[in-house]
Amino acid sequence: MSPVSPVSVTVGAVEHSVDFVRPRLRARGARRVALYAGVQINGEPHLGTGVLQTAAFLLARSARDRLGVGAELRFGALDNAPYETRVCPRTGTLYTRSYHHALGPARIEELVKRFYGGLFDALTALTGVPYTVETYTRQQQSPAFREEFLASLDRWDRLRWALAPSTGHVPVSLPCPRCGWLQKSGEHTELLGTGDRWARFAAVCIDHGRYETDVRPDGRAWLGLTTLHRNLVKERLADRDEAMPVIVKGADWATGCRLLDEAFLCFPGGHPPARVLTPVILSASGAKLSKSLMREGTADLSPDTPPWMLDATRWTGTTEGYAETLHRLVSLMLSDPRHFERGYTTSEVVRILAEPGPIAPG
């Protein structure tokens, strides 16, 4: 049994969703692909996260088997997510401190392992696709990341309107070197100057006042970027690799990816990477499952939604069983692009998983 899905706009053009990658693969003549996906560490993962990550494994396996290329998975752990917040009593300015600055690398590694280690290992066992996890903190330390950031400043006047079409305002956040707090919206962050391979910023700390930070390829400053700016820099960095990058994101990213694609065009000869968008898991209202809505109690979940769909740590079986369940569900979604180019409510997932029958090949 399959879900009942309407005909998609790609019917007749796309037989398997991994074929979205093929035009770029042919143009580039690449022998290897690296699929990039995100890992949230700010709370227990829900079903939407699991579906995205499982889809990344299955797409990598399909790239290997159907397109005949080497395929690996690279997860980025977002340790730049805000961990704690303070409001300056004098100015009302919002300050945040990231998971990295509040917890440090050892506890971040623990979190990644706790939420994802078992699942990823089980999915590797099921698909034969290897994976690595790199934190944002580690990634932004690399000279190549900083070079791409500095390159973005070189064409800032055009780029910032692609990254923030309403205001052209794209804050860059540099945490206080003494305590790690930073202004969430970078109100008082100022670009003092740029030169050949450097940029100097001034910013204000809630406790330590004004400070200046230099960003250089080999420097130590920690770079906080807005979501779209960060993704642009990461994707341009990924494009330097010999393995052709394929960006895997939930379909809720479709509109954001439009802006990213626009941003790529600001670079001479720039072209956006191959992307595959994965099905979003929805609550009864049609809003995607979201940690913040669940926390607020406004997620509007249907009563038949089992707790583990909202919080994977509440799965009562083995991790392998959880991985097999996700594998079965996402294999079904990938069995026809019609089933992949749509969203699923938690109720529909409950219905699909209750059905017996053979598993469609991923």
Residues that bind Zn ion (CB under 5 A): 176, 178-179, 205, 207-208
Residue 206 beta carbon to Zn ion: minimum distance, rounded to whole angstroms: 7
> Closest residue (Cβ) to Zn ion?
176
Return the axis-axis angle of helices 47-67 and 319-334, rounded to nearest 10°. Answer: 60
Q: How far is the CB of 189 from Zn ion (least distance, A)?
A: 14
Pick the closer one to Zn ion by CB: 108 or 174: 174
Quick one: CA torsion of 172, 176, 180, 183, rounded to 10 degrees?
Answer: -50
Which ranges constitute the DSSP H helices of the chain?
22-28, 47-67, 99-103, 105-112, 118-127, 136-141, 143-154, 156-163, 227-238, 254-264, 291-296, 307-310, 319-334, 337-340, 346-354
Which residue number, 85 or 132, has a Cβ lying nearer to Zn ion?
85
Backbone angles phi, psi at 204, to 5 degrees: -125, 135
Report the amino acid identity of residue 135.
T
Closest approach of Zn ion to the CB of residue 204, in Å: 9
Of the candidates 331, 281, 248, 257, which has an alpha carbon nearest to the alpha carbon of residue 56? 248
Q: How far is the CB of 9 from Zn ion (least distance, A)?
A: 51
Min CB(11)–Zn ion separation in Å: 56
For the CB of residue 83, give the shortest distance to Zn ion in the complex, in Å.
15
When the beta carbons of 102 and 259 are compared against Zn ion, the nearer one is 102
Work out the end-to-end distance of the chain between its first and last CA atoms, rounded to an integer number of angstroms.
Answer: 15
Q: How is residue 342 annotated by DSSP? A: S
Q: How far is the CB of 209 from Zn ion (least distance, A)?
A: 8
| CB 207, min distance to Zn ion, A | 5
Distance of closest approach, residue 213 Cβ to Zn ion, in angstroms: 12
Residue 168 three-state SS: coil
Where is 183: in which H helix or E strand? strand 182-183
Report how far apart, in Å, the C-alpha atoms of 189 and of each of 103, 171, 204, 215, 216 are: 24, 8, 7, 14, 17
Phi, psi of 278 (to 5 degrees): -105, 160
What is the H or E stretch that residue 278 is in?
strand 274-278
Beta carbon nearer to Zn ion, 111 or 205: 205
Q: Quote the CA–CA distance of 63 and 360 in Å, as a whole number.
A: 17
Characterise 197 by phi-psi region: left (phi > 0), alpha (psi -120 to 50), beta (else).
left
Pick the closer one to Zn ion by CB: 104 or 165. 104
The residue (of 175 and 279) whose beta carbon lies closer to Zn ion is 175
Identify which of residues 88 and 179 has a Cβ nearer to Zn ion in the complex.
Answer: 179
